A and B are shown apart, each in its own frame.
Chain A
Amino acid sequence: QVQLVESGGGLVKPGGSLRLSCAASGFTFSDHYMSWIRQAPGKGLEWVSYISSSGSTIYYADSVKGRFTISRDNAKNSLYLQMNSLRGEDTAVYYCARQKSGWANDYWGQGTLVTVSS
């Protein structure tokens, strides 16, 4: 069965960096586009970034552009999100999600919490 397991979250000071990972299993990872989506505590969902199956096409939300970098390693069935210059408003649960046809996300991980605070 499809499984997505995020890791790498934690407490970081403003201006700091963190790298999130997402381990995928149960499907052919290299065939699928992938996304990161976040949810601040008690708030709604916010789309963060997307990467094509080969990694050649990448999009970011304006709110993270220039600070976050999405990448993937198809040999390791893994998705990554490098987060630099972190701010308080980046505090959220970060989900990795598989892209279905179009722009929908059909499988989601359980999420990893990132807290940015001094």
Chain B
Amino acid sequence: QSALTQPASVSGSPGQSITISCTGTSSDVGGYNYVSWYQQHPGKAPKLMIYDVSNRPSGVSNRFSGSKSGNTASLTISGLQAEDEANYYCNSYTSSSTPVVFGGGTKLTVL
């Protein structure tokens, strides 16, 4: 089972917007609207930021948004803040024998 493909790292300055991509196949990202995004600070548990492609849980800043086009999902963070510096993971439901697959993770650096 191959992981979803994410860039290893992205960076941006405070106030800027950045986008993290998550590329899969028609058997996962492209075939279902079950893409989620998680933020993880070092030594902490992951936190759900986006679910079902574009929905934000209550309490998550509206600076975080999600979208999908074809086999690629995206997480956009606008108005970048220092506390956004973290690792971000996408995951998706998949029709394979392992029903959930994660991306390899993206380290976001706020310059």
Interface residues of A (CB under 8 A from B): 35, 37, 44-47, 50, 59-63, 95, 100-106, 108-111
Docked-complex contact B93 and A102, CB < 8 angstroms: yes
Docked-complex contact A45 and B98, CB < 8 angstroms: no
Chain B residue total in the interface (Cβ 8 A): 27
Interface residues of B (CB under 8 A from A): 1, 3, 33-34, 36, 38, 40, 45-48, 51-52, 57, 89, 91-93, 97-105
Contact among A44, A95, A100, A109 with B51 in the assembled complex (CB-CB below 8 Å): A100
Which A residues touch B101, using CB under 8 A? 47
A44 to B46, CA, bound (A): 11
A63 to B1, CA, bound (A): 9
Docked-complex contact A102 and B34, CB < 8 angstroms: yes
A47 to B99, CA, bound (A): 9
Docked-complex contact B104 and A44, CB < 8 angstroms: yes
A100 to B3, CA, bound (A): 22
